[in-house]
Amino acid sequence: MMMMNSTRWAVAALSASTVALAVAPQAQARAPKSSTLVQETTPSALGDAKIDGASLVAGIAECRKALNNDSIVKFTFETTYAVAEEQDSSAVFSGPYIYSLARGTSTNVNCTDGEPSVECEDMSSDSPLMIDTGEVVAEVPFEDLVGFSNAELCESEQSDLEHFVQVHIDPNNNVTGAVDADYVEGRVVVDLIRPEAPVTLDGMSTATTMLVNIEPSSSEDVSAYFAVVSTTSFEGGVSIDDLGDSSKRYPVVLNETTNTGEVSVDLAEGTVVHVSVVAKDDAENYSLVPAPVEVEVVPTKNFWDYYQEAGGSETGGYGCASAGGGSGAAGLWALLVALLGLGLTRVRRAGARA
């Protein structure tokens, strides 16, 4: 048998492996249409918006910045059918056209149909295509895509839409030898709905590692959790940005079986911190900050004492693992999670007094 003293047990337990958060599937509209006449569609960076193939993904914060900066959404379509500027390129290309779909909609939209399935807007007068040898560039103001220019609406609009920029190619002319007309699209996902906030139940911490128990967010598109840690008390129900520099944000690695998260921190022993866990979705939207709990930062060497004081049944101040290895970390992790379940008296909800 391999023996471990109480100090090393605490360190090993706090660093034991967790099960990483799996990204839940979310409703997706159909992908932006591609074409054999276009070799590649490339969106240009829109601030910090995520680029995903022929798509941009923007949330509330990016929406605000894009409107405040009068940002332009740009898609470059590389095509062997692009012609020199001095030629009659309008005989080959038309658009751009824009339209919007709710997330999860799979409708095909051809904006040049006599009666397209959704309303399209022809932007060719205000935002004409730029054509050069080998590429066609469509630039559309962000505010035209989303349909509003007031940045405050990014928070209150509560919409989750996918906006498409469509360019048509008609090579059936003297410029090229191709026959069939086609069209191609870029997409901008604008998700203006915050994920539902998780509930922070309780926590425990050493100077370097914290464990928190939560009730996870009910939203389907949560991609990560973060612990908001502050040395001063704060109210729940506020935006994470409203807390300013008074708090720090730490990634949470969540065990989805126990709903216990592990957080690497840098805290001072003997202090009390205020902790709340927020959810983040794929569009970089954070949930509102739920009500915090108070967590005492305890010395690692005393961890075994706290376990026994809380009613733990293991004796001797040792953690054991077989010489064959493999099960020790899991067992230590289970003991530590059990300690949380025992209701450590040194952890309490904000405002409570031991």
- pLDDT > 60? residue 93: yes
151 located within any domain: yes
Q: Are residues 246 and 297 in the same domain?
A: yes
pLDDT of residue 298: 87
How many whole angstroms separate alpha carbon 127 and alpha carbon 134?
20
DSSP letters for 314-326? --TT-EEE-TT-S
- pLDDT > 90? residue 243: no
- pLDDT > 90? residue 133: no
pLDDT tens profile 6-35: 333 233 333 333 344 444 444 456 789 999
240 located within any domain: yes
Q: Are residues 204 and 326 in the same domain?
A: yes
- pLDDT > 70? residue 197: yes
50 located within any domain: no
Q: Which of 191, 222, 245 is the last residue of a domain?
A: 191
Q: For residue 318, what are the CA distances in angstroms to 205, 210, 325?
A: 20, 21, 16
CATH number for the domain spanning 270: value is 2.60.40.10
The pLDDT of 44-60, averaged and rounded, is 91
| 81 or 228, greater pLDDT | 228
pLDDT of residue 82: 65
pLDDT of residue 179: 62
354 located within any domain: no
Q: Are residues 7 and 130 in the same domain?
A: no
Q: Are residues 175 and 226 in the same domain?
A: no
Predicted model pTM: 0.75
42 located within any domain: no
Q: Are residues 146 and 77 in the same domain?
A: yes
Q: Are residues 128 and 216 in the same domain?
A: no
pLDDT of residue 173: 56
Q: Are residues 238 and 177 in the same domain?
A: no
Pairing of strands 182-191, 293-296: unpaired
Name, of 98-102, 113-117, 313-317, 343-347, the range with top average pLDDT.
Answer: 98-102
Q: Are residues 107 and 133 in the same domain?
A: yes
Which residues form the domain of 210?
2-23+195-349
Q: Is 237 left (phi over 0), alpha (psi -120 to 50) or beta?
A: left
Q: For residue 154, what are its two tokens?
A: 């990014």
Name, of 82-86, 179-183, 321-325, the range with top average pLDDT.
Answer: 179-183
Q: Which of 148, 164, 191 is the last residue of a domain?
A: 191
35 located within any domain: no
47 located within any domain: no
CA atoms within 13 A on the CB side of 346: 21
Long-range Cβ pairs for the range 298-301 (8 Å, 24+)? 298/204, 298/205, 298/206, 298/269, 298/346, 299/206, 299/207, 299/269, 299/270, 300/7, 300/10, 300/11, 300/14, 300/206, 300/207, 301/6, 301/7, 301/10
Q: Are residues 293 and 312 in the same domain?
A: yes
Q: Are residues 200 and 342 in the same domain?
A: yes
Q: Are residues 167 and 201 in the same domain?
A: no
Percentage of the chain lying above the pLDDT 70 cut: 71
How many whole angstroms separate alpha carbon 7 and alpha carbon 51?
46
At residue 294, φ and ψ (nearest 5 deg) are: -90, 135
pLDDT of residue 40: 94
Q: Are residues 170 and 265 in the same domain?
A: no
Q: What's the length of the chain?
A: 354
The pLDDT of 96-102, averaged and rounded, is 95
Mean pLDDT of the chain: 79
Long-range Cβ pairs for the range 241-245 (8 Å, 24+)? 241/61, 243/289
Count of domains forming the chain: 2
pLDDT tens profile 276-321: 999 999 999 999 999 999 999 988 765 556 656 666 555 544 333 3
DSSP state of 292: P
pLDDT tens profile 141-172: 999 999 999 999 999 888 999 999 999 988 76
Percentage of the chain lying above the pLDDT 90 cut: 53
pLDDT of residue 287: 97
How many whole angstroms separate alpha carbon 58 and alpha carbon 312?
48
45 located within any domain: no
Q: Which of 138, 171, 191 is the last residue of a domain?
A: 191
